[in-house]
Amino acid sequence: MNHIRLGVNVDHVATIRQNRKTLYPDPVLAASICELAGADQITVHLRLDRRHIQERDLYILRQTVQTEINLELAAEEDVLAIACDLKPETATLVPERPDELTTEGGLSVVGREAELGAVINRLKKAGIRVSLFINPDPASVTAAVKAGADQIEIHTGFYSHVRGQEQAKQLARIAEAAETANKHGIAIAAGHGLGYFNTQAICAIPGISELNIGHAIISRAIMVGMDQAVKDMISVIAQGLANRKLS
């Protein structure tokens, strides 16, 4: 593998906009700048409470994004119907609670293979590739494969929010989950909490082919501009992939 895809999540651009109920900043414009800077896809989460991305954003993005759209959504009728109509390249099923600040963990998959399989089949019939956002454990990977997912996205939040020996332990969990996924032949993405100082180690894990990163890039963009923030992350990913090849 000579490339790890970068999906830039522009939700937080919409968060700033919705905080004041203005027309700016525009996540659609942000997405265009991200693509020009080298992003491989645009990731957005249409939450049930519509706290940031709005339906109008999605349909304009569908008309303007030149790369691919990765739509994160809960397995709920309200947003599933929109996904089937919008037809993003990828739909990533995520857990969602109304009172959470952000997604707090991976989707519960074990024991729900048939239930999630029906949702996955519905999305696939609409021509959409389906990814499941799961915790870094082999059982969840195996369940995702059984449910019929095209891809898994390993939740890296536990790794991202700790340091030292605990971070090394969490990194090992991610590597074990990736190894299980490689054995099953399922595509592997990773994301949540990744930034400029903890992403290289994730890139060095064999099999990971995509990262979805939002908060860190948008935060850095406030200081250096969106174009530079995306390019900086692409450089971090390239170095991490180089480390994989050397190991």
State yes or no: pLDDT of 129 exceeds 90: yes
State yes or no: pLDDT of 245 exceeds 90: no
Could you say which of 35, 72, 113, 153 is catalytic?
Answer: 72
* Angle at CA of residue 78, ends 72 and 80, nearest 5°: 50
For the chain, the domain total comes to 1
Return the pLDDT at 207.
97
Percent of the chain with pLDDT over 90: 93
Q: Is 47 helix (H, G, I), strand (E, B) or coil?
A: coil
Return the pLDDT at 182.
98
Return the pLDDT at 193.
96
Say which CATH number the domain at 109 has: 3.20.20.70
The C-alpha atoms of residue 162 and residue 232 are separated, in whole angstroms, by 23
Query: Please, what is the average pLDDT of the chain?
Result: 96
Q: How confident is the model at residue 1 (pLDDT cuts 50, 70, 90)?
A: low
Annotation marks residue 155 as catalytic? no
State yes or no: pLDDT of 100 exceeds 70: no
Return the pLDDT at 14.
98
Annotation marks residue 192 as catalytic? yes
State yes or no: pLDDT of 103 exceeds 80: no
Annotation marks residue 45 as catalytic? yes
Could you say which of 45, 52, 96, 155 is catalytic?
Answer: 45
Return the pLDDT at 180.
98
State pLDDT tens for residues 8-39. 999 999 999 999 999 999 999 999 999 999 99
Q: How confident is the model at residue 111 (pLDDT cuts 50, 70, 90)?
A: very high
**Closest-CA residue to 3 (of 246, 177, 234):** 234
Find the radius of gyration of the CA atoms of the chain: 17
Query: Which pTM was predicted?
Result: 0.96
The residue segments making up the domain with residue 32 are: 5-246
Percent of the chain with pLDDT over 70: 97
